[in-house]
């Protein structure tokens, strides 16, 4: 029987066209509208390949009669109701590592945006100004960088930043050592130390029950006045209201968010009003390279699952 594969959410779907020549599969690439097209096409689909836009909720799952596999072409699976998938016998997998470099590079790009004030300088230039003094920034070199979550992406961020001779502090209860070849890196046992000591703080934990609102006002109150904060991991890990208050009170210098409690962010929110906050629309994994790699890995996993009965990179509830 032909398997119907629905590729959603905009990724490099060229890779899936390889499946088109295979009698076993019919592929519906680039169903980008989760509300209408995805829902309709998913009803009789055997597998979904999604990124972050499609929310595989209980209601969504109930509308699918044939679903066997959901592949998250990326890292985080917080947009999938994994417990309900399990109840329904639907397997869930992701593509670990495939977009990590892009995610790490985006976090670093945001650090530099904040340090050198480039986004604000650009906005000012576009109004015809030449306001050099206002946009005097800070160097990255020799700073203390606090990395919250030292899994694949956190370690990559650290590794990429080594050339700036930082002191790197990481907080991760699940990681005891690292092998990134740099001496000036220390594990700390509590989040408070990260917030007290760092000049730059970056978040790289997944969103799970234990990390919901992990970072809130008590942490921001510990930060150095000149320190900056970046979250390109997941919304919901950081208490958005508390971050906004810290930014408004100038108890921290500036922050950048790539991820939000509710995505996509509505047109006008309190976040848009804060001058020392930089926003990007969940761009972490959005590079051509990452989109190709996640697609390639998902393609391989689909073939293994349907042709060899082999489930790769399963994510359990």
User: Which position among 41, 167, 263, 304 bears the catalytic label?
Assistant: 263
Q: Alpha helices, DSSP H only, in 82-134?
A: 82-87, 100-116, 118-126
User: Is 234 considered catalytic here?
Assistant: yes
Choose which of 6, 7, 27, 51 interacts with ligand MLT (CB under 6 A). 51
Of 81 and 199, nearer to ligand MLT (C-beta) is 81
- DSSP for 9-55, written as a single string: SS--GGGGHHHHTSTTEEEEEEE--IIIIIHHHHTT-SEEEE-SSS-
Choose which of 74, 166, 236, 295 interacts with ligand MLT (CB under 6 A). 74
Using CA atoms of 70, 72, 77, 82 in order, give the dihedral in degrees to the nearest 10: 10
Nearest to 200 by CA among 99, 109, 100, 97: 109
Residue 34 makes contact with ligand MLT by CB under 6 A: no
Stretch that binds ligand MLT, among 68-76, 181-189, 214-222, 303-311 (CB under 6 A): 68-76
Residue 109: partners with Cβ closer than 8 Å, 6 or more residues away? none
Number of residues that bind ligand MLT (CB under 6 A): 10
Q: Taking the complex as a whole, how short is the minimal distance between the CB of residue 69 and ligand MLT, in angstroms?
A: 18
User: Which position among 51, 106, 253, 282 bears the catalytic label?
Assistant: 282
Choose which of 146, 149, 166, 285 interacts with ligand MLT (CB under 6 A). 285
Q: Taking the complex as a whole, how short is the minimal distance between the CB of residue 294 and ligand MLT, in angstroms?
A: 7
User: Which position among 106, 234, 253, 293 bears the catalytic label?
Assistant: 234
Residue 75 makes contact with ligand MLT by CB under 6 A: yes
User: Is 282 considered catalytic here?
Assistant: yes
The residue ranges of DSSP E strands in 113-258, in sequence order, are 144-148, 167-171, 185-187, 200-203, 228-231, 254-257
Stretch that binds ligand MLT, among 12-20, 63-71, 143-151, 277-285 (CB under 6 A): 277-285
Distance between alpha carbon 82 and the CA centroid of its chain, in Å?
Answer: 18
Residue 235 makes contact with ligand MLT by CB under 6 A: no
> Is residue 5 reached through a cis peptide bond, with omega within 30 degrees of 0 on the bond before it?
no
User: Is 263 considered catalytic here?
Assistant: yes
Residue 86: partners with Cβ closer than 8 Å, 6 or more residues away? 316, 317
- Which residues are marked as active site? 234, 263, 282
């Amino acid at each position: 029987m032909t398997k119907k594969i629905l590729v959603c959410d905009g990724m490099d779907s060229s890779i899936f066209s390889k499946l088109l020549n295979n009698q076993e599969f019919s592929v519906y690439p680039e169903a980008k509208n989760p509300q209408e097209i995805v829902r309709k096409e998913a009803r009789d689909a055997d597998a979904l390949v999604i990124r972050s836009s499609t929310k595989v909720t209980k209601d969504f799952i109930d509308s699918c009669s044939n679903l066997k596999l959901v592949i998250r072409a990326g890292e985080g699976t917080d947009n999938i109701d994994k417990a309900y998938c399990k109840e329904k016998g639907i397997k869930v997998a992701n593509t670990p590592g495939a977009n990590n470099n892009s995610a790490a590079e985006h976090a670093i790009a945001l650090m530099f945006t904040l340090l050198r004030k480039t986004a604000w300088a650009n906005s000012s230039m576009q109004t015809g100004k030449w306001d050099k003094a206002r946009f005097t920034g800070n160097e990255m070199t020799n700073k203390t960088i606090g990395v919250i979550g030292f899994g694949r992406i956190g370690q990559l961020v650290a590794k990429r930043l080594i050339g700036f001779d930082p002191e790197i502090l990481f907080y991760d209860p699940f990681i005891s050592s690292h092998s990134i070849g740099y001496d000036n890196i220390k594990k700390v046992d509590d989040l408070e130390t990260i917030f007290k000591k760092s000049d730059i703080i970056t978040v790289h934990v997944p969103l799970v029950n234990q990390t919901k609102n992990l970072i809130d006002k008590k942490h921001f109150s510990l930060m150095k006045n000149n320190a900056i904060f970046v979250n390109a991991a997941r919304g919901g890990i950081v208490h958005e209201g508390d971050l906004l208050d810290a930014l408004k009170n100038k108890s921290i210098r500036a922050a950048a968010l790539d991820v939000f409690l509710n995505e996509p962010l509505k047109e006008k929110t309190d976040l848009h009003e804060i001058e020392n906050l930089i926003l990007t629309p969940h761009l972490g994994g959005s590079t051509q390279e990452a989109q190709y790699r996640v697609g390639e890995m998902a393609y391989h996993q689909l073939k293994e699952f349907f042709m060899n009965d082999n489930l790769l990179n399963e994510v359990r509830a």
